[in-house]
Amino acid sequence: MSRERAKAANSPNVLELSMDAKAVIKVGEFSRYGVSRVLVFTLDHDHGADGKVTPYGILLTAHKELTVSLATGPVTADFIVDQLDAWWCAHRERFPQVDTLLLLQDNGPENQSRRTQFLSRIVAFAQAHRINVRLAYYPPYHSKYNPVERCWGVPEQHWNGSVSDTVETIVNFVQTMTWKGAAPIVQLVTTTYAKGISLTRAAMAKVEAQVQRLAGLEAWFVDILCAPKVAQVGGGH
C-alpha cells in the first residue's frame, strides 16, 4: 500500500481518494458523553432510535479536501458508487491530466472486490467516464491507516456533550466541523438503496473479464481499465 501511494503522489496522472463510512449515528435524545457548557437532558434508557445517519467520506488526500455524504438509509454498493460518481462529476474538470483514480478503502462487505454489485458498478463507472480505477484495500485490523479514518474523530469531539436529536442537528454538526482548517462539503442522502443485490455467476464472469487482479493479492489490488476488453476472434485462411 505504501508503494502504491508513493507512486500516486509522484504521478500527475493519478489521483488518490480515501473512502470509508463512519459508524452509524442514532438519531434521538441519547447521551453522547463529553462536556457541555449548558445543562443537557437525555434519555436514561435506550427506547429505540428515531432514525439513523451514516456518514460516508471521500477524502482527496493531496488537497486535504473532505466530502461527507450523510445517508439516512443503508450504505450499499450502489450508494458508494453513486457518491463516487457524483464526486467525480463535480471535480473532474479540475484534473484534466488525471487518467487513473486510486481508491483507498477498507475491505468492507459492501465494497470488497468480490462483492458482485460493487465490482459491476465500478467497472461501469470506469467505462462511462473513460477513467482507469485501481482498488486498493487495507487488510483486516488496519483500517486506521486509511487517511479518511482520521477525519471521523473531529465530529466526535465537535458534538460530544450534545444531543443528536434530529437529522438536521447531525447535518449541522458535520457542516460546522473543520478538517485541516477547512469545512467539508456535506450533503444529505435520503435515497433508500436496496440491499442484497447480486449478479449471477454468468454475469459476474463478464465483469471479471474486465478487471486485472494483482497476482498473490487478488482480493486487495484490482485494476479496472476504462476501455472494455474485446474478445479476440481468430481469422481463417
Give the C-alpha distances (Å, rounded to integers) separating 104 from 4, 128, 156, 172, 183: 10, 21, 23, 27, 22
Contact status, residue 104 vs residue 17, Cβ threshold 8 Å: yes
Residue 58 and residue 84 in contact, taking contact as beta carbons nearer than 8 Å = yes
Domain 2-224 sits in CATH 3.40.50.620: no
pLDDT in tens, 188-222: 999 999 999 999 999 999 999 999 999 999 999 99
How many CA atoms lie less than 13 Å away from 54 in the CB half-sphere?
17
Kindly give, in sequence order, each residue whose CB lies less than 8 Å from that of residue 101, ignoring residues fewer than 6 positions away: 14, 15, 17, 88, 131, 132, 133, 134
The average pLDDT across 94-118 equals: 96
Question: Which of 227, 18, 21 has the alpha carbon at shortest distance from 129?
Answer: 227
pLDDT at position 230: 61
Average pLDDT, the chain: 88
Say what the pLDDT of residue 39 is.
45
Read off the amino acid at residue 215: A
CA distance 59 to 166: 26
In degrees rounded to 5, what are phi and psi of residue 166? -140, 160
The confidence band for 36, taking pLDDT boundaries of 50, 70 and 90, is: very low
What does the pLDDT look like over 136-155, one tens digit per residue? 999 988 888 999 999 998 88
- The pLDDT > 90 percentage for the chain reads 70
Q: Is 237's pLDDT higher than 90? A: no
Task: Quote the CA–CA distance of 43 and 29 in Å, as a whole number.
Answer: 6
**Nearby residues of 81 by Cβ (< 8 Å), 6 or more positions away:** 118, 121, 122, 125
Q: Give pLDDT tens digits for 153-169.
A: 888 877 765 777 889 98
**How much of the chain exceeds pLDDT 70, in percent?**
86
pTM of this prediction exceeds 0.75: yes
Give residue limits of the domains in the chain.
2-224
DSSP 144: G
DSSP of 156-173: HHHHTTS---SHHHHHHH
